[in-house]
Amino acid sequence: MPNVIFIDAGGKSKTIDCTVGTSLMKSAQLNGVSGIYAECGGQQMCATCHIYVAEDFLHTLPEISIDEDEMLEATASDRLPNSRLSCAIIVKPEHENMVIHLPKFQR
């Protein structure tokens, strides 16, 4: 179970054990990470699960799909080069110690 570190916009961090094969969004919600609303339940239709992924882990992520790309254009906080939807990321063993920054606003 890889540890993933979530850091909120105020700098507060929370490290959680994520289950391989589940989405990062679901793992965050199951482990009480605040700031990920996921209003559409993981259908890539709301952009309220927006995250910023540490750049040294970007190569471990799947390509951004057309749907994800469109939703990332609708985020409440600025889209950055390392913006992703956490529901589009399935946890893998290589995500051990991945750092995720949460945006200031999700809606």
Residues that bind ligand FES (CB under 6 A): 25, 38-40, 42-49, 71, 85, 87
Q: Among all chains, which residue has been given the structure tokens 């290589």?
A: 94
Q: Which two tokens stand for residue 80?
A: 């950055």
- By beta-carbon proximity to ligand FES, the closer residue of 83 and 98 is 83
Shortest gap between Cβ of 90 and ligand FES (angstroms)?
13
- By beta-carbon proximity to ligand FES, the closer residue of 11 and 63 is 63
Q: Which two tokens stand for residue 31?
A: 């482990």
Shortest gap between Cβ of 27 and ligand FES (angstroms)?
13
Sheet holding 13-17, edge to edge: 13-17, 3-7, 98-101, 50-53, 83-85
Residue type, 55: E
Name the residue number minimizing CB distance to ligand FES. Answer: 87
